């Protein structure tokens, strides 16, 4: 496999292989020396055409833990504002003999376009409303760690499904691993493509959807991606679809609460839930580094090598 | 796929047993007891052998020597020469290796590159007082200045042969000769 562009095209075995490999990297992160020489001499460019703090820092840390040389490329400092085309930018960067490109872009499909034009391994770090594969993998890894399995679990994904690449990648990932998905949110924010899937049920009210679930995955309300008119007000949104302590009580007593971050406290999730004992939000962040190390390990060697 | 056109048993189950007993005694003798001693097997073949040697030491010394498992995939020097990356297995060393006398255990000593990788991996986990090497088979063809203190059997081989230590079911060590050169 040269690139990781999305979960949709991954087989179940490939996903399981990544999760298994990540647990070895998690062990590395627990040591005094949290670094391995595996990708020494390789170079990675982080191309972020859209703002990101946690995904970018998580990738950067994972890259450094693998002993790679890291270049960061973000929009304001780049030639993009000077009118250079995307592919010219990629060709220029490729001339530096790059092995990996990590790409975040506000338009869906950009990583696929770039992957077709470069010999480097491309990792999608989130494209538009399409996919965010490493987030879904770290979420699956976290669930595995906490629940010991994914098959047969009831997982609620709550909020703005429509504009969420995290939700999309998680739906592909978790259904492939045998979970039962419940999508909960305003009817205006649940895309029609998920209405008739045998592993997916759709609920418009938290009170029905959260009953006896094993995992609650909250999504960030992506105000910057939405037009107007999907729901009346942010305050009303919290009232109906926010995760409060009372609503958490509807889930199984040992249910875990996840959020990809950054959180809008008081909009999609109450602070006491986000900081409560069932929250695994900070563990998701730690696991993100292990998952990204595993992905880069499995995508190497980029050029296929000698026999 | 490589085709193998002959198979020769070079160590039977009893011979493996005796070799491991001797190695266990030599380890204790050379280190004047079991103080600070620990065994670390290289995944996969070495881990089982390390456990066997630890059992033997326990049987005549009455001391349980700590045993760990080490995976060297992340320290290999041939990653960019391979078509696929090796599966990463568990590294499980549940004790502090600093100032310990480590007996590194592997099944077959060949080029020495795995041992180089294992040494680097161990150095990242602490500062051992001493590292010694025990192997069941030394088949020659070293590419690095590495030599084992404890050897079950020295077996002269050619590079197009494969030495396989089979530890499941009927255990034995066999030499397989391939119809073309084995690429390492």
> Which of A36, A298, A303 minimises the CB distance to B74?
A36
Hey, what's the torsion of the CAs at A299, A303, B1, B6, to 10 degrees? Answer: -100
Asked if residue A165 and residue A79 are part of one domain, the reply reads no
The answer to whether the Cβ–Cβ distance between A305 and B75 falls below 8 Å is: no
Structural domain count of chain A? 2
Task: Looking at the structure, tell me whether residues A17 and A149 fall in a common domain.
Answer: no
pLDDT at B5: 67
pLDDT greater than 80 at residue B170: no
Q: Do A24 and B91 touch (CB under 8 A)?
A: yes
**Rounded CA gap, A226 and A210, in Å?**
25
- Looking at the structure, do residues A169 and A276 belong to the same domain, yes or no? yes
Report the pLDDT value the prediction gives residue B183, as an integer from 0 to 100: 42
The per-residue pLDDT for range A176-189, each reduced to its tens digit, is 999 999 999 999 99
Considering only CB atoms, B85 lies closest to which of A35, A300, A303, namely A300
| pLDDT band at residue B169 under the 50/70/90 scheme | low
Q: Among residues A106, A213, A90, which one has the least CA distance to residue A158?
A: A213
CB contact under 8 A, A25 and B90: no
Say if residue A34 is in the same domain as residue A162.
no
Give me the pLDDT at residue A23, please.
95
Residues on A contacting B at a C-beta cutoff of 8 Å: 17, 20-21, 24-25, 27-28, 31-33, 35-39, 297-298, 300-301, 303-307
Q: Per-residue pLDDT for A246 more than 50?
A: yes
pLDDT at B73 over 50: yes
The mean of the pLDDT values for chain B is: 90
- Residues A160 and A247 reside in one and the same domain: yes
**Element of type H or E holding A177:** none
For chains A and B, CB pairs below 8 A equal: 55
Which stretch of A59-63, B80-84, B98-102 has the lowest confidence by average pLDDT? Answer: B80-84
The pLDDT assigned to A87 comes to 87
**DSSP state at residue B92:** B
Domain that holds residue A111: 12-131+286-299
Yes or no, beta carbons of A300 and B124 under 8 Å apart: no
Distances in Å between the alpha carbon of A268 and those of A160, A232, A238? Answer: 10, 14, 6
Residue A97 CB-density burial (10 A; 0-12 exposed, 13-18 middle, 19+ buried): exposed
pLDDT of residue A79: 58
Q: Measured between alpha carbons, how far is A29 from A46 in angstroms, rounded to an integer?
A: 21
Average pLDDT over residues A100-112: 95
Cβ neighbours for A168, distance < 8 A, ≥ 6 positions apart:
A129, A130, A131, A132, A161
Average pLDDT over residues A245-260: 97
- Residue B68's SS3 state is strand
- Closest C-alpha among B132, B110, B153 to residue B17: B153
The pLDDT of A132-155, averaged and rounded, is 98
DSSP three-state, residue B161:
strand
Q: Determine the pLDDT at residue B1.
A: 54
Q: Is residue A60 pLDDT above 60, yes or no?
A: yes
Residue A46 domain-assigned (yes or no):
yes
Rounded Cα distance between A188 and A254, Å, is 31
Per-residue model confidence (pLDDT) at position B181: 43
Is position A6 within any domain?
Answer: no
What is the nearest CA distance from B154 to chain A, expressed in angstroms? 29
Quote the crossing angle between the two packed helices A12-29 and A54-65, to the nearest 10°: 70
User: Mind telling me how many Å the CA of A97 is from chain B's nearest CA?
Assistant: 15
Interface touch B71/A24, C-beta < 8 Å: yes
pLDDT in tens, A9-21: 999 999 999 999 9
Of A20, A28, A306, the CB nearest to B81: A306
User: Is the pLDDT reported for residue B182 higher than 50?
Assistant: no
A138 vs B11, more confident: A138
CB–CB of A24 and B81 under 8 A? no
Q: What part of B 141-170 touches A (C-beta under 8 Å)?
A: none
Same domain, A45 and A187: no
Assigned CATH topology for domain B4-178: Rossmann fold (3.40.50)
Q: Tell whether A145 and A256 lie within a shared domain.
A: yes
Domain match, A21 and A113 both: yes
Pair (A74, A155) in one structural domain:
no
Is A2 a member of any domain? Answer: no
CB contact under 8 A, B90 and A24: yes
The two structure tokens encoding residue A99: 């092995």
Distances (CA, A) of A185 to A113, A158, A217, B68, B136: 32, 6, 12, 49, 62
Instruction: Give chain B's end-to-end CA distance (angstroms, integer).
Output: 14
pLDDT band, very low/low/confident/very high, at A76 (cuts 50, 70, 90): low
Beta strand B172-178 pairing with B161-166:
antiparallel
How many H helices and E strands in chain A? 11, 9
Using a CB-CB cut-off of 8 Å, the residues of chain A touching B85 are 297-298, 300-301
A307–B85 C-beta distance less than 8 A:
no
Could you tell me if B91 lies within 8 Å of chain A, comparing CB atoms?
Answer: yes
Domain boundaries, chain B: 4-178
CA distances in angstroms from B133 to B65, B106, B109, B161, listed in the order given: 16, 8, 10, 23
Counting residues of chain A whose pLDDT is more than 90, the rounded percentage is 79
- Put simply, the answer to whether A32 touches B126 (Cβ < 8 Å) is yes
CATH of the domain at A94: 3.40.50.1370
Look at residue A307 in the predicted model and tell me its pLDDT: 33
pLDDT in tens, A166-220: 999 999 999 999 999 999 999 999 999 999 899 999 999 999 999 999 999 999 9
* B39, β-bridge pairs: B67, B103
| A157 bridge partner residues | A183, A217
Q: Do B79 and A301 touch (CB under 8 A)?
A: yes
Position A230 scores a pLDDT of 79
Does A140 share its domain with A40? no
Distance CA B166, CA B163 (A): 10
Question: Looking at this predicted complex, what is its ipTM?
Answer: 0.84
């Amino acid at each position: 496999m040269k690139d990781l562009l999305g979960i949709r095209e991954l087989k179940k075995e490939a996903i399981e292989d990544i999760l298994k490999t990540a647990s070895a990297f998690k062990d590395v992160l627990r040591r005094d020396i949290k670094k391995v020489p595996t990708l020494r001499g390789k170079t990675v460019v982080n191309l972020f055409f859209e703002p990101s703090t946690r995904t970018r820092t998580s990738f950067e840390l994972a890259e450094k833990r693998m002993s790679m040389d890291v270049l960061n490329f973000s929009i304001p400092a780049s030639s993009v504002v000077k009118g250079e085309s995307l592919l010219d930018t990629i060709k220029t960067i490729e001339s530096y003999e790059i092995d990996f490109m990590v790409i975040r872009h506000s338009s869906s499909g950009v990583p696929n376009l770039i992957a077709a034009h470069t010999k480097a391994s491309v990792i999608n770090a989130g494209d538009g409303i399409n996919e965010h594969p490493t987030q879904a993998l770290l979420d699956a890894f976290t669930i595995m760690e906490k629940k010991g399995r994914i098959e047969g679990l009831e997982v609620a994904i709550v909020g703005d499904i429509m504009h969420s690449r995290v939700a999309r990648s998680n739906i592909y990932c978790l259904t492939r691993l045998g979970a039962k998905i419940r999508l909960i949110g305003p009817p205006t924010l649940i895309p029609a493509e998920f209405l008739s899937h045998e592993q997916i049920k759709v609920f418009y009210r938290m009170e029905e959807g959260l009953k006896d679930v094993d995992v609650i995955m909250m999504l960030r309300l992506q105000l910057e991606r939405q037009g107007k008119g999907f729901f009346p007000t942010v305050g009303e949104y919290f009232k109906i679809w926010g995760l409060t302590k009372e609503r958490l009580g509807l889930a199984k007593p040992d249910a875990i609460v996840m959020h990809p971050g950054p959180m809008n406290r008081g909009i999609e999730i109450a602070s006491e839930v986000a900081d409560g004992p069932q929250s695994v939000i900070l563990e998701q962040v730690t696991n993100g580094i292990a998952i990204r190390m595993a992905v880069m390990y499995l995508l190497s060697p980029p050029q296929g090598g000698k026999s | 796929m490589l085709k193998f056109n002959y198979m020769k048993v070079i160590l039977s189950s009893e011979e493996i047993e005796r070799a491991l007993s001797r190695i266990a005694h030599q380890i204790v003798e050379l280190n004047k007891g079991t103080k600070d001693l620990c065994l670390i097997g290289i995944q996969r073949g070495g881990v089982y052998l390390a456990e066997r040697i630890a059992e033997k030491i326990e049987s005549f010394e009455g001391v349980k020597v700590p045993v760990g498992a080490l995976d060297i995939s992340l320290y290999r020097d041939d990653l960019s020469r391979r078509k696929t990356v090796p599966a990463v297995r568990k590294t499980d060393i549940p004790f502090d290796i600093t100032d310990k006398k480590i007996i590194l255990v592997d099944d077959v000593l060949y080029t020495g590159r795995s041992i180089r990788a294992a040494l680097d991996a161990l150095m990242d986990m602490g500062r051992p007082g001493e590292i010694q090497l025990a192997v069941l088979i030394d088949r020659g063809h070293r590419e690095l200045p590495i030599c084992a203190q404890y050897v079950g059997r020295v077996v002269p081989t050619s590079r197009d042969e494969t030495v396989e230590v089979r530890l499941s079911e009927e255990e034995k060590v066999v030499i397989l000769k391939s119809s073309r050169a084995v690429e390492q």
